[in-house]
Amino acid sequence: MSYFDWHLTRREWLRLSAAGVLGASMSGWLENLAAAAAASPERKRACILLWMNGGPSQMDTFDLKPGHANGGPFKEIATTVPGMRFSEHLPRLATKAKHLAILRSMSTKEGDHGLATYYLRTGYRAQGPVQYPPIGATLSKELGDERAALPNYVSIAPATFLSPAAFTPGFLGPEYAPLIVGNQGYGFGQPQNDFDNALKVEDLQAPNEVKPEQVNSRLTLLREMQREFVAQHPGVPALSHQSAYERAVRLMRTAASKAFDLKDEPPKLRDRYGRNLFGQGCLLARRLVERGVPFVEVTLSSVPGAQVAWDTHQQNFEQVKKLCEVLDPAWATLLEDLEQRGLLETTLVVWMGEFGRTPRINPQAGRDHFPNAWSTVLCGGGIKGGTVYGKTSPDGMSVTENPVNVPDFLATVAKAVGVDPTKQNMSNVGRPIRIADAGSKPIREVLL
């Protein structure tokens, strides 16, 4: 019998919960159900966003200009796709080029960190009273399962201070908020070495001295108190607290929280990802997607030797090299791991930051904010790999072929995971808002 023969109605799910079938999940029934879902040919698509905090330099990663004064010291290397070349500091990723679609013609016109972060993550500019949801909340709403023990949207090690609103569920409501693990807060100058503890969900286990029946009684009492409070104080803060509580209880009552225990993974595999917050975050992303989580994002922010993440106004080349030493093994291993587990065809991997960096090198050997002509990468599920789309001028200052704006880019992301980008959701101001802004068109050349 397949997973989908076992698919339960909401009423049946609640009845089983009340009967205690889902209480401790000691039989492993729920976990076996999740494993069957991952292997099913009817499995829904998923998305992993690799978010590059601070804005990565396209000139030193995927759109080098060798021989030009703007090019800098990095060399191009060949990849496994003839004619596709990128930085020498991404050698392992170069062997996975058949999975990559490089978009070299992003042109987004927003050079402020906070505003650009909001724009790239939501598809809309931050203006007026509308609280736009990020693409993670939107896609998890379309692809997720409200009955799942694991949350449908997980954000790993985000640096939220640049644009806090870009890491909320927006007008979709608290049930679509991300579960945040390993929060870096400011993100700059704060590399985390204790990644095993950073990537765990806190407070899911009751103290040893508290018996299971006591836990159940306390949870029941708290649930009743919360219902009364929400009834008397309706509003987003109370509903957000209730939603977070209910999500935590679902995790507590199953073995689903084991997804966050990376010690289950072979040490050699963990080494290949990289023993750092981003590398282990990518491994966690694979574990979550494997268990049915539809949207996971992993942020690469500060690393030793690059304390300001990708915001490389000074000493750009030294810092980009250090960041690539973390990015390259993690990203390449993620693609390998997904492919070996039969998940790559249904999992879209997106690489982007909020903008690119200036082609001209400043007096501090750095590159400044540059939204006019930069690069993003799509790979995996729904994407025509081995593709380069768009072109920039020989000096890197402008787009010369196939400019890509933010709505078109996010419409492409939605289309790749099987979501209609023209679908509308009701906003907090009472008018419907499209997933991708009106007039946007998916980039057909990079889609299967």
CA–CA separation, 155 vs 139, rounded Å? 13
pLDDT greater than 80 at residue 284:
yes
How high is the pLDDT of residue 236? 61
Q: Supply the mean pLDDT for the chain.
A: 87
Q: Do residues 326 and 279 lie in contact, with contact meaning Cβ atoms separated by under 8 Å?
A: yes
How high is the pLDDT of residue 146? 84
Mean of pLDDT values over 321-329: 98
CA–CA separation, 286 vs 38, rounded Å? 12
How high is the pLDDT of residue 257? 83
- Quick one: what percent of the chain has pLDDT higher than 70? 79
List C-alpha distances in Å: 347 to 143, 280, 406: 12, 18, 21
Paired with 299 in beta bridges are 51
- Count of CB atoms within 10 A of residue 436's CB? 27
- Domains of the chain are 42-200+265-446 (3.40.720.10), 202-260 (no CATH)
pLDDT greater than 60 at residue 33:
no
pLDDT tens figures, 130-160 = 999 999 999 999 999 988 889 999 999 999 9
Task: Select the more confidently predicted residue: 246 or 414.
Answer: 414
> In 3D, which of 358, 350, 357 has the Cα closest to residue 376?
350
Residue 164: pLDDT band (50, 70, 90) is: very high
Q: State the Rg of the chain over Cα.
A: 22
Residue 28: pLDDT band (50, 70, 90) is: very low
pLDDT tens figures, 182-208 = 887 666 766 667 788 888 886 565 566
Where on the phi/psi map is residue 67: left (φ > 0), alpha (ψ -120 to 50), or beta? left
Quote the tokens at residue 224. Answer: 């009743």
- Count of CB atoms within 10 A of residue 303's CB? 21
Handedness of CA 441, 350, 102, 324 (dihedral sign): positive
Q: Are strands 153-156 and 295-300 parallel, antiparallel or unpaired?
A: parallel
How high is the pLDDT of residue 234? 76
Q: Are strands 387-389 and 100-106 parallel, antiparallel or unpaired?
A: parallel
Per the listing, tokens 């993974």 go with 265
* Helical H segments across 7-134, by residue range: 10-19, 29-39, 91-94, 113-122
> In 3D, which of 288, 25, 349 has the Cα closest to residue 152?
288
List C-alpha distances in Å: 392 to 44, 242, 364: 36, 49, 25
> In 3D, which of 266, 265, 296 has the Cα closest to residue 281?
296
Q: Do residues 344 and 381 lie in contact, with contact meaning Cβ atoms separated by under 8 Å?
A: yes
Residue 10: pLDDT band (50, 70, 90) is: very low
Where on the phi/psi map is residue 403: left (φ > 0), alpha (ψ -120 to 50), or beta? beta
How high is the pLDDT of residue 188? 72
Mean of pLDDT values over 114-121: 98
How high is the pLDDT of residue 129? 96
CA–CA separation, 434 vs 73, rounded Å? 43
How high is the pLDDT of residue 193? 73
CA–CA separation, 245 vs 328, rounded Å? 37
Quote the tokens at residue 140. Answer: 């998890």
Indicate the pTM of the whole model: 0.86
pLDDT tens figures, 337-364 = 999 999 999 999 999 999 999 999 999 9
- Count of CB atoms within 10 A of residue 312's CB? 25
pLDDT greater than 60 at residue 37:
no
Per the listing, tokens 């980009």 go with 320
Least confident of 82-91, 183-192, 324-333: 183-192
